[in-house]
Amino acid sequence: MTHTKPDTELENYVSALGCEALKASRRLAVCTPEQKNAALLEMSYELARCQDEIVHVNQEEVEAARRRGLPAAMCDRLLLTEGRFRAMLNGLRDVAALPDPVGAELNTTVRPNGLVIKKVRVPLGVIAIIYESRPNVTADAASLCLKSSNAVILRGGSEALRTNTAIAQALTAGLVKSGLPAGAVQLVNTADREAVRALVQLDKYVNLVIPRGGEGLIRTVVELARVPVLKHYKGVCHVYVDESADLEMALRICENAKCQRPGVCNAMETLLVHEGAAARFLPGLGGLLGEKGVELRGDEAVRALIPWALPAEEQDWYAEYLDLILAVRIVPNVWAAIDHINTYGSQHTDAVVAEDEAVQRAFVEQVDSGVVCINASTRFNDGGEFGMGAEMGISTDKVHARGPVALEELTSYKYIVLGSGQVRN
């Protein structure tokens, strides 16, 4: 196998970050909840102290991005408004207030030979976060990693490098003031794309990589990585409205799942309707969503009931629109809905609206997704809504963590075997 050989200086730089992070992670593993919480508050004060400077640098970067012709949506994500800055500060304080995930005894077994085996929650060690555009991720991700006693190596988008650097400097200053090692929060301080490769192959030091961004970024990370990756590619979320559904409820759920925030991964992208409910349900739904400016793309049977719907093509069933567009299909029964979801879906979040408990059960058991909702909006797949506090993101993987990734999902465990001289026969 031939690889482009990464620049050795760059490799050494990234490796040195890893080595520092590992050292810091060993310190973090034994520090108290109080030390971590004090550091999080200190970080918020330092960030507040540097606000003018950070906002100034950020405005220069947004200007530069506009001049280079970056899409408006991307420039907007890059911008640190007053509100977003405040949310960063509050985020640090909120994470400090969450319960500490480290040290909990998960399980204890006493063996016939007297050995006591305890399973105890411990940090993962070093986490690398690779993200795009939004500079607030720098503080959000750092706070969750610190709270779970993990050292973090942050790699943001090149268009936000100066903003991210300024934020990371403030965070580090807060860390150091409170007596924790600067290596606990580090930013990859280069726009060189090869740094991503070096980082995700650093299995000597890094325990987990979490990519956050578009599908292209995530595919690149998975392809290059030698370190475990936690991720979701996309959220093609479905609502299935059964023949037995309360159609008033189905209307409310569909409206919420599609319109409340269409640009996020847990918004509905495809609606499946039982053929026995279609004539009663779809005209009303079409009216409601039409008023909200939603474009519908349906199969033939849908278009017979909603004449203004556009025809859906095969690719629409795979689409994550992240926009006011909805694909609609009529299906003969719940089994066909399950098949459709397992074929075209992304194992993210899928909902059934049904009163029939056999239908609910079949859907929940057979839809192979991280979160399956019964008579509730797909929008609830969210760490905050699950009562976990802030989240790092959503996983559609089955290994390690599935669904919302919050503090507990950023930990591992170790076994402690407590004996009195036992040996094995």
Binding site for its own copies (CB under 8 A): 1-4, 26, 29-30, 109, 111, 115, 117, 124-125, 203, 207-208, 222-223, 226, 228-230, 246, 249, 252-253, 255-257, 260, 342, 364-366, 368-377, 379-381, 385-387, 397-400, 402-403, 412-424
CB nearer to its own copies: pick between 295 and 385 = 385
CB nearer to its own copies: pick between 242 and 255 = 255
CB nearer to its own copies: pick between 14 and 312 = 14
CB nearer to its own copies: pick between 172 and 207 = 207
Q: How far is the CB of 399 from its own copies (least distance, A)?
A: 4
Taking the CB of residue 104, how many other CB atoms lie within 10 A of it? Answer: 14
Question: 237-241 and 268-274 as β-strands: parallel, antiparallel, unpaired?
Answer: parallel
Nearest to residue 231, comparing CAs of 261, 197, 265?
A: 265
Q: In sequence order, what are the residues at sequence separation of 6 or more whose Cβ sits closer than 8 angstroms to the Cβ of residue 401?
A: 230, 395, 409
Q: How far is the CB of 304 from its own copies (least distance, A)?
A: 28
Rounded to whole angstroms, the Cα distance separating 50 from 246 reads 53
Q: How far is the CB of 33 from its own copies (least distance, A)?
A: 14
Nearest to residue 24, comparing CAs of 127, 169, 163, 100?
A: 127
Nearest to residue 197, comparing CAs of 224, 176, 222?
A: 224
Contact 390, 140 (CB under 8 A): yes
CB nearer to its own copies: pick between 311 and 419 = 419
Q: In sequence order, what are the residues at sequence separation of 6 or more whose Cβ sits closer than 8 angstroms to the Cβ of residue 216?
A: none
Q: What is the dihedral of CA 268, 274, 276, 281, to 10 degrees?
A: 0
Of all helices (H) and strands (E), which one includes residue 89? helix 82-97
Of all helices (H) and strands (E), which one includes residue 92? helix 82-97
Rounded to whole angstroms, the Cα distance separating 369 from 211 reads 20
CB nearer to its own copies: pick between 263 and 311 = 263
Q: What is the dihedral of CA 362, 367, 372, 378, to 10 degrees?
A: -120
Residue 111 one-letter amino acid: R
* DSSP helix/strand/coil, 243: coil
Taking the CB of residue 289, how many other CB atoms lie within 10 A of it? Answer: 23
Q: How far is the CB of 303 from its own copies (least distance, A)?
A: 27
Rounded to whole angstroms, the Cα distance separating 27 from 242 reads 54
* DSSP helix/strand/coil, 238: strand
Q: How far is the CB of 17 from its own copies (least distance, A)?
A: 19
Q: How far is the CB of 123 from its own copies (least distance, A)?
A: 8
CB nearer to its own copies: pick between 156 and 235 = 235
CB nearer to its own copies: pick between 16 and 418 = 418
Question: 295-298 and 268-274 as β-strands: parallel, antiparallel, unpaired?
Answer: unpaired
In order of 62, 74, 76, 223, 321, the CA distances from 71 in angstroms are: 11, 5, 9, 27, 17
CB nearer to its own copies: pick between 76 and 203 = 203
Q: How far is the CB of 159 from its own copies (least distance, A)?
A: 24
Q: How far is the CB of 136 from its own copies (least distance, A)?
A: 21
Residue 201 one-letter amino acid: Q
**Region of 422 on the Ramachandran plot (φ > 0 left; ψ -120 to 50 alpha; else beta):** beta
Q: How far is the CB of 51 from its own copies (least distance, A)?
A: 29
Contact 248, 281 (CB under 8 A): no
Q: How far is the CB of 23 from its own copies (least distance, A)?
A: 10
Q: How far is the CB of 234 from its own copies (least distance, A)?
A: 14
CB nearer to its own copies: pick between 257 and 305 = 257
CB nearer to its own copies: pick between 54 and 388 = 388
